Structure 1
Amino acid sequence: MSSTASPSSPSCAPRPRRRRSRGASRRAAPRSRSRPSASSAGGAAADADGRFRLRLPGPGTFTVSVSAVGYAPVQRRVTAGAGETIRLDVDLDAATYEAGAVVVTGTLEQMAVRDSPVKVEVVPARFLETTPSANVMDAVERVNGLYQQIDCGVCYTNNIRINGIDGPNTAVLIDGMPVMSSLATVYGLNGISPMLIKQVEVVKGPMSTLYGSEALGGVINIITKDPSTAPRLSTNVFSTTHAEMAAEFAAVPLRGRTSALVSGTLFHVADYHDNNGDGFSDRPFETRLALFGKATRQDTQGFERASLVAKAYVEDRAAGFEPFLDDVGGLRGSDRVYGESIYTRRAELIGTWTPRPDLTVRASGALHDQDSYYGDVPYAATQADGFGQVVWTPPTEGTALDGHNLLAGAALRAIRYDDGSAATGVYDDAGALVENRPDTRVVPGVFVQDDWRVNERLPLLGGLRADVQPGYGVIPSPRAAVKWRPAEATTARLNVGTGFRVVNLFTEDHAAYTGGRATLILEDLEPERSVSVTGSLQQILGATSPVTVDIDAF
């Protein structure tokens, strides 16, 4: 269930029962006689019967947009006087085109999938619920163009590739905020239970204009459930024939203007099997605990003004010969029996504050600590990331820029990475540390975007970002997109953009690959760059039982 609205209107999203959406009452607050500003926006979620209640910011005329997944949206003009209660009944017709989900990843603004100039793949919650898994990684890889790659055949370290581009080049977001570090595609996805997720949005191709470094290959945005509408209590317990066991819960202890959701996931597998007879376990032993919490705060009119998300992740992973797995604690780091042991501790904190409808302030932090042994070779690393962003969407309705949806912002990222290798230290011939040199960077950036609706069937999108990278100077990242809808059931999109990523040797690569290759750094590493052109054509066939045909090229 989702909602959209014009910039000057509140929005509501009743959930239809069959093809009919029941109406709702709304009362205008008598505290103001002036017409609401063009930037007024908000919404309300409906209950299971399609009923909702929305308090308008004042008397005046509003455009109310009612939408639900799988149904064509309906807009109504509502004029409310001071203290007046209005009842509105709306019938929604089933849609035979892509009109359902509301997405934010492509442009940083809410809009229906069919209206977005950037193609966004949406994985809904009902699809995730069909996958018996304790992490979203297993479900996301079902999206066309995404592939889960196993980077290490022993410890089973994995990542998600988009259109063949390595996982460290994919930006992982939680509720629109970046989860930084090169291992985010592993631990950022493995640590989230599918039962917490409202939907997953995937954009293929460079998105550095909006999200900066790590968005060279694409973006995976995990939209978590709203505590104000999530079930009071959800549980999930399952086991597989590979002796994988998982237990999950999610609860809403607080609901009202301040709502809160908490959850936990425990996953365990310790079943040794060697079907290929190479002496190594076919999959690692693993114990994982993930805790998640989300709190939101609404104003007196029901508009969300602030949210806070916290996530903690603890994992113990081991793989190797069977004797090693029988005594990991005693053999860890020794050369008697080969095995790999990885202890991971990760914490993330994300905050969003909307002091007024056209201004949003976001901040996030992530701390990753890893203590590993690959045989008798140690690898200990820590990475801390801090990220802040301010986004401004100036009102344009009734001005010379009417028809343009402008967005401007500034971002600041701070990074500190340290490990026990030559990447962050100077060592003598005997291997002793002479000087520790953690990689520390502060990266400011600014960006601007214009979503211009030339007409109903032809929106154009243009954007530009400039990041100041220490040692490299200013790195520009432009983008352009066009969507053409010649008919109601036909949609064509074309996107052109550049992406960049500052190379960081963090990840387990240099240790995981030690047995198969040598890594030599012969010169200074410049930022990775890419230029990408992606195109898509969608055709809806049939009316009563529509079939969607998608053709993508990149």
Structure 2
Amino acid sequence: MIRRQFFFALLTLIAFCGLDATSTVEFKYPSDANIVGHVKDSKTGEHLIGITIAIKGTTFGTSTDVTGHYFLRNLRPGEITLVMRGMGYKSQERVVLVQKDKTIEVNFEAEEDAIKLDDVVISANRELTLRRLAPTLVNVLSDKVFAQVNASNLAQGLVFQPGVRVENNCQNCGFNQVRINGLDGRYAQILIDSRPIMSALAGVYGLEQIPANMIERVEVVRGGGSALYGSSAIAGVVNIITKEPTRNSFTFNESMSFTDFSKIDNNANFNASIVSDDNRAGAMVFGQARYRSPWDADGDSYSELGKINARSLGTHAYLRLTDYSKLTGEFHTLSEFRRGGDRIDLPPHVVGVAEQTDHSVYSGNLKYDLYSNNYKHHFQAYTSGQIVNRESYYGGIGEIDVNGHVGGSLGYPIPQEAYGNNYGVTKGRTYMAGLQYSYDLDHFLFMPSQLLFGAEYTRDELNDVMPLLAWQIAMDENGNPIHDANGQVIPLYPELDQNINNYSLFGQNEWKNDRWSFLLGARLDKHTEVKDMILSPRATLRYNPTRDINLRATYAKGFRAPQVFDEDLHVGVVGGEAQKVFNDPNLKPEISHAFSLSADLYHRFGNVQANLLVEGFYTRLNDVFTNEEQPDQHDGIKRYTRVNGSGAKVFGLNL
């Protein structure tokens, strides 16, 4: 019944959005109506590379070349508005009359905007919006910051984002998690091009696996965001926007750093892009190779930084089908070997402690945008997916003593029965598809507004097995095989299959102008692991008394759904014993109520730009997940039951 209602909603959305699709009109070639020009820095007079020049109300545009010039060919005659945007510069608009068989020159003097007030962001309301006019506070981390701090991956650059803390939670394997507003990584949603395809499995090492050279910018929204992005967006979202080709170019970079002036961390990467002369198609390819040597800080033979050997390759392409429609696709593959512990040169099952993973990750997305010729209607269809194949070993045999000598040394081999057996094979599949429609109203009740609604479907599949344990039979404390209700012997570690479906409907209306915005929205989810429908309302208020003063208040109700398989951002292994977590039959989702108030203030002192942000937040968590240890069954596995706790409060102040 739920599936039928969901797909009926999708069909209704397609039909409604298709009403305006016939209003798109293609360019008629050749009109020989052209615009040329350059973009200079207003202070230095330097020609600027990679500044976007777009035609307002269409998907059409170009960017300045290596000389700082641009060229728009064969435009439709009539009055158009050119929009100039560039990272770190204030946006500008220029009204131009385009005439057949004529070429006109339009130049721009770009004014620096170091505080990025005029950056365009999408994470606040799912539509492109100037950052100073966004209904919620969005912080932007540009690719320029990644270059300045020599960051080779997302984790190394994200640490320079205020209000966000990236921490290393294991000195052996070196996995990272991001903390937002005092909550750990389980409460933050990582998005790639606004799509939540980073599963719990992929997110464990995902911060270090995303190469910096594929990132255009990172948008961070603090506070409850589930009304927009679903489960686990309680603390906030980290939205990774991938690079799109803007001009013909090729770059290569190699950086080398050393830990303790002895252990190397080497990164080599390249980007190559090509754009057609008429700017209707473009493609880019990016790649990276990274090698990091293990580092033992205190000489105890155990690593404080583990070994990493990683490769990545990807592409991003677009095709403008008409003046008002655009098809965009992105695909990348990551391969990473990671090893920490002691005696890293030996196989993991014969050392004291080993944490080793070998990942192959494939991710991609496809998006279709369609606008009406008056730019009031915007329809979007999208699909994304991620495949994760992982081979792992977590555990160790400890310090083996053989006749008073260290086991594994010359003449004193480790007994075969002492070898570790905690090898794991894990496969994860995440798929999602959705439709979204927005309509700009000139006046609705008391001011202009933007109506947005859509539907999404997400499926998360996971298969996990520990082969050497799965081949063994579980034994009771007397050494007898344990049987199930059907009389079959139980394997020591049964194969685990998890399949989760989530159906979502969302909608919102944002009344807005340059001074005020008021947003009301909600998201409705039906999750496999939750009996009842989950409603997540959201409300925001923005007031800009001047361009340089942004005041905001937000409320969002969010949720985090339980899963049968949850690494808690790390595979827990204690004393070489595997851990398994089971959901209580009456388990309810975690529910959050998040409030925030912020004042975002800007001022220029001559050539100095200053920004003061004061943000207070309060989050109430109900039915928090907690694990209760179960009686030992003497089969080498520690079992826990995930139950609901009483709750928690998290509050604080960001300056």
Deviations 1:55-99 (A, max 9, x none): 687444444433444444333444445666544344454558753
Does structure 1 residue 538 correspond to structure 2 residue 600? yes
Q: Distance in 2 between matches of 1:67 and 1:348?
A: 29
1:383–1:215 distance in 2 versus 1, CA, 3 Å:
same
**Which of 261, 269, 284 pairs up with 2:306?**
284
Q: In the alignment, residue 341 of structure 2 is paired with which amino acid? A: G
**Which of 329, 354, 357 pairs up with 1:339?**
354
1:548 maps to which residue? 611
Q: Distance in 2 between matches of 1:297 and 1:41?
A: 10
1:449–1:138 distance in 2 versus 1, CA, 3 Å:
same
Q: Distance in 2 between matches of 1:210 and 1:169?
A: 14
Deviations 1:331-367 (A, max 9, x none): x334x53322222221111111124451111111111
Tell whether the 8 Å contact from 1:171 to 1:185 is kept in structure 2 after alignment.
no
Q: Which segment is superposed worse, 186-195 or 158-167?
A: 186-195
Does structure 1 residue 327 correspond to structure 2 residue 372? no
Deviation for aligned residue 1:519: 6.8
Tell whether the 8 Å contact from 1:69 to 1:99 is kept in structure 2 after alignment.
no
Tell whether the 8 Å contact from 1:363 to 1:389 is kept in structure 2 after alignment.
yes
Tell whether the 8 Å contact from 1:171 to 1:219 is kept in structure 2 after alignment.
yes
2:225 maps to which residue? 207
Q: Distance in 1 between matches of 2:508 and 2:36?
A: 27
1:16–1:397 distance in 2 versus 1, CA, 3 Å:
farther
1:513–1:385 distance in 2 versus 1, CA, 3 Å:
same
Tell whether the 8 Å contact from 1:343 to 1:371 is kept in structure 2 after alignment.
yes
Pairs within 5 Å for 1:46-195: 46-48=64-66, 50-54=68-72, 58-80=76-98, 85-94=103-112, 98-195=116-213
1:351 maps to which residue? 366
**Which of 511, 521, 526 pairs up with 1:463?**
521
**SS of residue paired to 1:473:** coil
**SS of residue paired to 1:129:** helix
Does structure 1 residue 260 correspond to structure 2 residue 305? no
What percentage of aligned pairs have identical amino acids?
Answer: 24
Q: In the alignment, residue 100 of structure 1 is paired with which amino acid? A: D
Q: In the alignment, residue 355 of structure 2 is paired with which amino acid? A: E
Tell whether the 8 Å contact from 1:172 to 1:178 is kept in structure 2 after alignment.
yes
C-alpha RMSD over aligned residues: 3.5
Does structure 1 residue 476 correspond to structure 2 residue 535? yes
1:367–1:222 distance in 2 versus 1, CA, 3 Å:
same
TM-score normalised by the chain length of structure 2: 0.72
Q: Which segment is superposed worse, 74-83 or 367-376?
A: 74-83
Tell whether the 8 Å contact from 1:320 to 1:339 is kept in structure 2 after alignment.
yes
Deviations 1:435-491 (A, max 9, x none): 7552112211111121211x4211112211101112422111111111111233222
1:547–1:62 distance in 2 versus 1, CA, 3 Å:
same
Structure 2: 5+ residue stretches without partners: 1-23, 25-34, 373-377, 397-419, 476-480, 482-489, 618-655
Q: Distance in 2 between matches of 1:110 and 1:485?
A: 19
Deviation for aligned residue 1:183: 3.9
TM-score normalised by the chain length of structure 1: 0.84
Pairs within 5 Å for 1:380-459: 380-397=425-442, 403-420=448-465, 429=475, 432=491, 436=495, 438-453=497-512, 455-459=513-517
1:59–1:137 distance in 2 versus 1, CA, 3 Å:
same
1:226 maps to which residue? 244
Q: Distance in 2 between matches of 1:537 and 1:202?
A: 17
1:59–1:364 distance in 2 versus 1, CA, 3 Å:
same
Tell whether the 8 Å contact from 2:213 to 2:286 is kept in structure 1 after alignment.
no
Tell whether the 8 Å contact from 2:226 to 2:234 is kept in structure 1 after alignment.
yes
Structure 1: 5+ residue stretches without partners: 1-7, 29-37
1:249 maps to which residue? 270
Q: Distance in 2 between matches of 1:348 and 1:78?
A: 41
Q: In the alignment, residue 383 of structure 2 is paired with which amino acid? A: A
Tell whether the 8 Å contact from 1:294 to 1:308 is kept in structure 2 after alignment.
yes
Tell whether the 8 Å contact from 2:77 to 2:98 is kept in structure 1 after alignment.
yes
Q: Distance in 1 between matches of 2:75 and 2:362?
A: 38
Q: Distance in 1 between matches of 2:87 and 2:54?
A: 26
Q: In the alignment, residue 372 of structure 1 is paired with which amino acid? A: S
**SS of residue paired to 2:41:** coil
**SS of residue paired to 2:439:** coil
Tell whether the 8 Å contact from 2:62 to 2:246 is kept in structure 1 after alignment.
no
Tell whether the 8 Å contact from 1:117 to 1:493 is kept in structure 2 after alignment.
yes
1:317–1:98 distance in 2 versus 1, CA, 3 Å:
closer
Q: Which segment is superposed worse, 532-541 or 410-419?
A: 532-541
Q: Distance in 2 between matches of 1:14 and 1:553?
A: 43
1:259–1:487 distance in 2 versus 1, CA, 3 Å:
closer
1:179–1:139 distance in 2 versus 1, CA, 3 Å:
same
1:254–1:515 distance in 2 versus 1, CA, 3 Å:
farther
Deviation for aligned residue 1:121: 0.6
1:100–1:279 distance in 2 versus 1, CA, 3 Å:
same
Q: Distance in 2 between matches of 1:438 and 1:219?
A: 28
Deviation for aligned residue 1:492: 1.3
Deviation for aligned residue 1:173: 1.9
Tell whether the 8 Å contact from 1:148 to 1:161 is kept in structure 2 after alignment.
yes
Tell whether the 8 Å contact from 1:179 to 1:188 is kept in structure 2 after alignment.
no
Q: Distance in 1 between matches of 2:307 and 2:199?
A: 25
Deviation for aligned residue 1:160: 1.5
Deviation for aligned residue 1:312: 1.1
Tell whether the 8 Å contact from 1:264 to 1:291 is kept in structure 2 after alignment.
yes
**SS of residue paired to 1:108:** coil
Q: In the alignment, residue 312 of structure 1 is paired with which amino acid? A: T
Tell whether the 8 Å contact from 1:168 to 1:184 is kept in structure 2 after alignment.
no
Tell whether the 8 Å contact from 1:405 to 1:452 is kept in structure 2 after alignment.
yes
1:290–1:300 distance in 2 versus 1, CA, 3 Å:
same
1:520–1:235 distance in 2 versus 1, CA, 3 Å:
closer
Q: Distance in 2 between matches of 1:207 and 1:230?
A: 37
Deviations 1:407-436 (A, max 9, x none): 111100011112137xxx9x9555606975
Deviation for aligned residue 1:202: 0.8
Tell whether the 8 Å contact from 2:245 to 2:274 is kept in structure 1 after alignment.
no
Deviation for aligned residue 1:181: 0.4
Q: Distance in 2 between matches of 1:373 and 1:238?
A: 29
Tell whether the 8 Å contact from 1:235 to 1:250 is kept in structure 2 after alignment.
no
Deviation for aligned residue 1:15: 4.5
Q: In the alignment, residue 320 of structure 1 is paired with which amino acid? A: G
Q: In the alignment, residue 362 of structure 2 is paired with which amino acid? A: A
1:298 maps to which residue? 320
1:552–1:55 distance in 2 versus 1, CA, 3 Å:
farther
